[in-house]
Structure 1
Amino acid sequence: MDTLGLLVHPVRLRIVFAMSGGQTRTTSDLCARLPDVPKTSVYRHVGVLADAGVLEVAREERVRGAVERHYRLRHERAAIGADVAAAMSLDDHRRAFAVGMAAVLAEFNSYLDRPGADPTADRVGYRQGVLWLRPDELTMLIDGLRSVLRNVVDNEPTPDRSPHLVTAIFFPAGEETPHTR
C-alpha cells in the first residue's frame, strides 16, 4: 500500500495522532483512547500500520498468557512527503483534506465527551482568518511556525504536561492566486 493510501484513512490517521506524543502504546491503550472506534477496527488498523512500518514494536511482555506489544510511531514513515504531495491529483488532495478534517473533528468530539471537559479552562482555540501574503511572506510564516513548533515537538511526557493536537491549514482563500493569474 502506498503512503497516501495508508495514511489517508480516518481510523489510521487517528491512530497516528494518538501515537504522536512520543510514548509507546499497546493496542488496548489505543482502544481506550479511541472509544468511538470498534476494537476490532483498531486492532486491524494497528496491524496495517505495523506491517507498513509506520508503527514498530518497542517491546513485548507477557500479560495473562498473551503477548502484549508496545508500539511506537516511526515519525519519518507517518507523513506524506513533499514528493508524494506533488504527485497527488486534485481529487487526492480533496480526499486527504476531508479525511484529515474528519479525524480532527472526531478527536475534538472525543475531547468534548470526556468528563470535565472545559474548553475555556483548557484554552481550546479554533480561529480562521485571512492573511494577505506574498509567496515569500507565506514561506517566512510557515518557516517561523515550524521553528516555534520545533522548540517543543520533542518535549517528553511529564506529569505537568498534557498532549495538545495542533492543526495548521494553509490555502489561498481568494479566487485568484499567483499561479492562476
Structure 2
Amino acid sequence: MVGAWVARSAPRPLLWVAAAVAVAVLSWWAVGRMRLTARRRAIARTDLSELDLMSGTEFEEHVAGLMQVHGYSAVTVVGGAEDGGADILARSPRGQAVVVQCKRWRHRVPPNDVRAFIGTLNSGYDGYQGMFVASNGFTEAAARAGGEHMVLVDRDGLARWMGGVEVPVPPRA
C-alpha cells in the first residue's frame, strides 16, 4: 500500500525506497547498540558472589554476554543436555572459531572434565580454539591437563574479565 502511494505521488520513488532502507538499517544498528549497552550494564552490576547463585544455563548466558561485550562475534549458546560438550560457539576478536565449555560448580573442575573437553575439541570441533570457563577454578592436575590445549578461565580470571581488565582470547593457531 505504501509502495503504491510512493510510486504514484513521489517524483522519485527510488529515493523513497533508499531512505526507507537507510532508516531500517539505522534502526537495526541502534537496537543492537542499545542491547549491547544494556548487557554491559548488567555485567557491570554482577559480581562473583552472584555467579554462585546462577544456574548452569544462566552462567552460560553470562559468559556469552561477556564474550559479546568484549569483542567476540557470532556468539551462540548451544549448551544443554545434548550439547556434545560445547556450551558456546563464537568468533574471537581475532576471527578465530572458539568453542567454550562452562562449569558453574561449587568445587574446582577435576582433570577428567578437562580431558573430556579436549576430546570434544579433537573429535567434533576441528579448527576451533577451546576455552574452558570454571566459576570455581581448576584443580592443579586439571590446569596441567588443559593448559596447552585451551584457554582456562578460573575464578580470578573470570573476575578480571568481568572487570574488563583482561579478556581471554585464544592464542593464534
**Which TM-score tier does this pair reach, normalised by the shorter chain?**
under 0.3
User: Which of the two has greater helix per residue?
Assistant: 2
User: TM-score, normalising length from structure 2?
Assistant: 0.25
User: Which of the two has greater strand per residue?
Assistant: 2
1 or 2 for the larger relative contact order (CA 8 Å, sep ≥6)?
1
